[in-house]
Chains A and B, each alone.
Chain A
């Protein structure tokens, strides 16, 4: 007898087998190995995840590029997967959005059908699985992206940050995470901040938000593909024991203005 295990991947496979309708996520794109992918594909650039006292903050610029063309300046790269999980995406935008849609459905499908939420480890594993399924594409030069997962862990009563490599390997980071072209340029700054001002996880949200926007501003100065904070305001979302919240635009605008008009610009 077939039993319902709440596995969304299995549901899609059954759907594909029954209907013959091709689900893009299940079948790798046949890309020539030497495809000029960088010129075709839209990429999201810089996202930053920082812990604060009580949760995790995610900030991302809004730029998406294809080679050296700016394709879009209102991309949203910080996306809630459920009430306690945020994902920040850098890299191939199209593929990333498809995987995000998959994960949102996968978590909810499990919770609704099994009448219990998917465990944190189960969710992290599901991200690994989606990434390893995407590996043939990534190796073929199309669809390479890197997610950072920020969660509130109710068992441990604290925020946690996880990042992945292309093959789906999962790593936990103690204080901060960043991905995308701009993040490489500012890597040392995170360390400098924690060593001079203390751990992000011990500081209040307002302070950490200001640091994050400043970091994004520096990344935009050093990396042409990063959109920065002036033309279009960055997105900021955070997760606490109460759920996922968006930082209001007015708060972000106030911080950007104070950085521009004095303080520590």
Chain B
């Protein structure tokens, strides 16, 4: 029979299991810049950054099938709402807060189902950069809004260290070029911090070294939503040749 103690222990074990699996995840950095929003990640295979709707994109770390389920649930909700109501009513807080979060919470709390092994980052584009929004969504359904930039990584410390670095360096509305440069270093810091449990602060240099090392085995994936564009779709993945100049400077 389950007692209150068992219930708590069960949740802790589930959380521990998920955190252990997320630790190895490749971080994702989101930054809002003058002409858009970007999500930057490193991938070994497959895709990392995905378009959800006209002004929404997404990336996540965790189990591939769980990430895929989240992605499709978000796309389904966004498109049926966008058609039945209006594309203007498809907002990050409705998608994350109402469509996804309760389902994650339910799966996490139910001892008879497998919980989602995933932590996701959503980005929403607005007409003014000051209004761009990021939401992180956790495996237990917890979500959190951010402005200007946001980070998801293997551990909480990893996220905090990368965020501190961005806070210290990022100007209020950066350009695309500076955003990509800072995002790359922030990625290195977050990844390094997730690997080294007992370290207080990862230096910028240590972050860059780790990034250089990882670039030998993985590729940068950079997805953007463009504020001003003639194209029908605002989302695009930046092609590798356009990333080369940034990678040479790492």
Q: Is A193 on the interface with B (CB-CB < 8 A)? A: no
Which residue of the partner chain A has the closest CB to B68? A4
**A-contacting 9-mer, from B128-136, B163-171, B180-188, B226-234:** B226-234
Q: Is A108 on the interface with B (CB-CB < 8 A)? A: yes
Known: A105-B79, A108-B79, A115-B47. A83 touches B231 (CB 8 A): yes
Q: Is A136 on the interface with B (CB-CB < 8 A)? A: no
Point out the residues of chain A lying under 8 angstroms from B247, CB to CB. Answer: none
Interface residue range, chain A: 20 to 34
Known: A4-B72, A105-B79, A105-B83. A112 touches B51 (CB 8 A): yes
Contact mask for chain B residues 75-119; partner A; CB cutoff 8 A; 1 contact, 0 none: 110011011100000000000000000000000000000000000
Point out the residues of chain A lying under 8 angstroms from B51, CB to CB. Answer: 112
Q: Is A224 on the interface with B (CB-CB < 8 A)? A: no
Contact check, A105 vs B232: say whether CB atoms are below 8 A apart: no
The CA-CA distance from A108 to B51 in the complex, in Å, is 10
Q: Is B18 on the interface with A (CB-CB < 8 A)? A: no
The CA-CA distance from A101 to B54 in the complex, in Å, is 14
Contact check, A83 vs B233: say whether CB atoms are below 8 A apart: yes
Point out the residues of chain B lying under 8 angstroms from A8, CB to CB. Answer: 79, 83
Contact mask for chain A residues 74-102; partner B; CB cutoff 8 A; 1 contact, 0 none: 00000010110000000000000000011
Contact check, A11 vs B76: say whether CB atoms are below 8 A apart: yes
Closest CB-CB distance, B149 to chain A, in whole Å? 24
Q: How many contacts between A and B, using CB within 8 angstroms?
A: 47
Residues of B123-181 whose CB lies within 8 A of A: none
Q: Is A190 on the interface with B (CB-CB < 8 A)? A: no
Contact check, B72 vs A245: say whether CB atoms are below 8 A apart: no
Q: Is A23 on the interface with B (CB-CB < 8 A)? A: yes
Contact mask for chain A residues 7-37; partner B; CB cutoff 8 A; 1 contact, 0 none: 0100110010000010100000000000000
Contact check, A102 vs B83: say whether CB atoms are below 8 A apart: yes
Q: Is B52 on the interface with A (CB-CB < 8 A)? A: yes
Residues of B44-79 whose CB lies within 8 A of A: 47, 50-54, 72, 75-76, 79
The CA-CA distance from A4 to B76 in the complex, in Å, is 10
Contact check, B52 vs A101: say whether CB atoms are below 8 A apart: no
Contact check, A243 vs B230: say whether CB atoms are below 8 A apart: yes
Residues of A200-244 whose CB lies within 8 A of B: 243-244
Point out the residues of chain A lying under 8 angstroms from B47, CB to CB. Answer: 115
Contact mask for chain A residues 115-145; partner B; CB cutoff 8 A; 1 contact, 0 none: 1000000000000000000000000000000
Contact check, A112 vs B52: say whether CB atoms are below 8 A apart: yes
Q: Which of A11, A112, A243 contacts B80 (CB 8 A)?
A: A11
Q: Is A109 on the interface with B (CB-CB < 8 A)? A: yes
The CA-CA distance from A102 to B80 in the complex, in Å, is 10
Point out the residues of chain B lying under 8 angstroms from A83, CB to CB. Answer: 231-233
Known: A21-B84, A102-B83, A105-B82. A113 touches B232 (CB 8 A): no
The CA-CA distance from A11 to B80 in the complex, in Å, is 7
Contact check, A15 vs B232: say whether CB atoms are below 8 A apart: no
Contact check, B233 vs A15: say whether CB atoms are below 8 A apart: no
The CA-CA distance from A11 to B78 in the complex, in Å, is 11
* 9 shortest interchain CB distances as A-B pairs: A109-B79, A15-B80, A105-B83, A83-B232, A113-B75, A112-B51, A80-B232, A112-B75, A4-B72
Chain A residues proximal to chain B, CB less than 8 Å: 4, 8, 11-12, 15, 21, 23, 80, 82-83, 101-102, 105, 108-109, 112-113, 115, 243-245
Jot down 26 A-B pairs with beta carbons below 8 A, ordered by A. Answer: A11-B79, A11-B80, A12-B80, A23-B83, A80-B232, A82-B232, A82-B233, A83-B232, A102-B83, A105-B79, A105-B83, A108-B54, A108-B79, A109-B79, A112-B50, A112-B51, A112-B52, A112-B53, A112-B75, A112-B79, A113-B76, A115-B47, A243-B231, A244-B231, A244-B232, A245-B230
